[in-house]
Amino acid sequence: MNTARLGTTDVEVSRLSLGSWYTYSRLSFEAGVELVRTALDNGLTFFDVAYYRNSPHTELIFSRLIREAGAKRHDYQIAEKLWYFSYPEESLSDQANRMLRRIDEEFVDTLIIEHPRPGMSVEKLVDEITEIVADGRARSWGALNWVPEDLMRAHEHATANGVQGPALAQLKYSIVRRNVVEEQYRQVVEQTGMSIHASDTMEGGILAGVLNPERHIGIDVGEIREQIKGTVPKVLEAARRLDITPAQFSLAWCLTNPQVASLLFGATRPERLIENIEAVRIASEHGAEIRAAAEGLGIDAHALDAPYTHDRPLIGDYVA
């Protein structure tokens, strides 16, 4: 498994990261241990964990699983998330302390904060989260679905105050939803040096051929999901011609973008996990072929003027 650095920090993570939404809560304890151990044995060491209101014990489950799998703290990296469920009554610092107790860790490798709500001060949020980084509770921090303008403001405020700016932007990015990252965020990523943490790359399983997923999946930014379903036959055919699975095709395509440090996906079966991990090698050895095969599959160029707007009451992609 290749690794990459988060932004300009010294935090090194695996190119693939395993998500926790609807993952561990769907498994027996033994199956969860096997999944985590399989990930570690195959070089996937970056785990995205969070508190979810519809699955509130995820962090506790993961904490037990990673220890039962025999991992030491230097064996893995953790991304955690902070939300605004009770903010500002509960500060980001207090929320981070509660999170660390739940996950039973002294620090996380990156702490991802969701996009500011209307009326929130970007500068105040940066001051709060960089205090958490400065005292060692997090090694870096990132932004979930922040608009480019706020990312730039955060970077400039951090730079002016001599503190760490956002190391990553976690955004939807896929063969079909490519314009958000490649056009709308390209300039701010280039100017700041931050990385992309790609998410929802398989559109909840749709791009792997599951047109009607039974479980809840991420929000449909731009309301283009029906168009995406119409693209699936082309995705399946392109993967078939390359003699790889549709999931491998989708993952490998994203990994060919050098701005993507790590790609977040979900899996509950070890065999599916191993299949997806193979996408790292495929991207490395056959990147040009992958990019050529995906030519023309993007459909979101005119879906939205801005991918995440402040007037939408979102709770991230992960909480309905």
- Per-residue pLDDT tens digits of the chain, which is 320 residues long: 799 999 999 999 999 999 998 889 889 999 999 999 999 999 999 999 999 888 899 999 999 999 999 999 999 999 999 999 999 999 999 999 999 999 999 999 999 999 999 999 999 999 999 999 999 999 999 999 999 999 999 999 999 999 999 999 999 999 988 888 988 899 999 999 999 999 988 876 777 766 566 666 677 677 777 777 778 889 889 999 999 999 999 999 999 999 999 999 988 999 999 999 999 999 999 999 999 999 888 887 544 444 444 443 333 343 32
pTM: 0.90
Whether 44 and 2 have beta carbons less than 8 Å apart is answered as: no
**Is residue 162 classed exposed, middle or buried when 0-12, 13-18 and 19+ CB atoms within 10 A define those classes?**
exposed
Q: What pLDDT does residue 319 have? A: 36
Q: Please, how many CA atoms are within 13 Å of residue 213, restricted to the half-sphere of its CB?
A: 15
Length of the chain: 320
DSSP track, 221-282: TTS-HHHHHHHHHHHHHHHHHHTS-HHHHHHHHHHTSTTEEEEEE--SSHHHHHHHHHHHHH
Q: What pLDDT does residue 306 have? A: 42
179: CB partners within 8 A, 6+ apart: 298, 300, 301, 303
Which tokens go with 227? Answer: 């168009």
Q: What pLDDT does residue 240 have? A: 94
Q: Please, how many CA atoms are within 13 Å of residue 98, restricted to the half-sphere of its CB?
A: 14
Which tokens go with 275? Answer: 């299949």
User: Is residue 71 within a helix (H) or strand (E), and if so which, with residue range?
Assistant: none
Looking at domain 3-294, its CATH superfamily turns out to be NADP-dependent oxidoreductase domain (3.20.20.100)
Whether 44 and 72 have beta carbons less than 8 Å apart is answered as: no
User: Is residue 65 within a helix (H) or strand (E), and if so which, with residue range?
Assistant: helix 58-68
Tell me 181's DSSP state. I
State the Cα–Cα distance between residues 44 and 58, nearest whole angstrom: 19
Which tokens go with 50? Answer: 């969070």
What angle is formed at CA 197 by the lines to CA 13 and CA 80, rounded to 5 degrees?
Answer: 70
Q: What pLDDT does residue 209 have? A: 63
Q: What pLDDT does residue 217 have? A: 62
Which tokens go with 270? Answer: 């070890």
- How would you classify residue 145: left for phi > 0, otherwise alpha for psi between -120 and 50, otherwise beta? left
Instruction: Please give the backbone phi and psi of residue 232, each rounded to the nearest 5 degrees, phi first.
Output: -55, -45
Whether 251 and 276 have beta carbons less than 8 Å apart is answered as: yes
Farthest-apart Cα atoms in the chain, separation? 55
Q: What pLDDT does residue 33 have? A: 97
Q: What pLDDT does residue 180 have? A: 84
